[in-house]
Amino acid sequence: MLTGKTVFISGGTGHLGSEICRACFEYGGRVIFSYHRNQEAAKKLMAEIPGSRAVPIDLLNVEGIRTTIERLYDEVGAIHALVNNAAISQIMPLPLVEEEDVDLIMDINIKGTFFITKHVLKGMIRNKAGTIVNVGSIAGARMLDVPVTYAMTKAAINGFTFALAGEMKRFGIRVNSVVPGLLDGGVGQGVPEELRKDFVAHCAAGRAGNAREVAELACFLASDRASYINGQNIAVDGGI
């Protein structure tokens, strides 16, 4: 499905990101992923995925994003698919949120995603090929008891996906997003038990999802098999 393609995954050392990396490799892709501080996790993942490569990226450093992506293109020639997975969450009620909290989550989840995409897209446009898969969240699409700052950034990813797909269509570059519901592990670990039970009670699947189920869709959307899917925010939430 991804044989011969180089796939760049941001936030590759996280719970979902690492599973996307594994799935991309299993489907034949050459995996390059970014990490921030967790160098040990990056080394462990590289050892697990033959031929993979980890690059440090601080999403708060826009110039660093540019130089890292440009250096990657110099070395690999083409990035065929980008998976925008890197993001953070803040578990605090709105009355306690300060300006610096809002700035941080906006800068990482939106601004960082924007500039990684911008610089990867330059090469895709030059090569006249590419796919982008953004990772959203049901938090940005439903009325749920979730941190407001996280929800608003994930809602922004939905709009980013629609608008970017429209702009990139003339270059033959597809843009879609996967929209996970509650997952076991990762961000889902911070969900209180009562909210977890409420989600499961209203979920047609009757359970939380897992990272592999999201990774499968991300790989499919990144591949040529999804050539007629564009500008879509596709839920992987078990039916809410």
The residues assigned a catalytic role are 150
Supply the DSSP symbol for 94. G
* C-alpha to C-alpha distances, 159 to 112, 113, 141, 162, 224, nearest whole angstrom: 16, 13, 11, 5, 23
First-last CA distance in the chain: 29
Q: CA 13 to CA 45: how far, in whole Å?
A: 7
Q: Which residue has the tokens 């809002």?
A: 102
Neighbours of 100 (CB within 10 A): 7
Burial class (CB in 10 A: 0-12, 13-18, 19+), 190: exposed
Which residue from 172, 97, 213, 85 is spatially nearest to 137, judged by alpha carbons? Answer: 85
Determine the residue type at 197: K
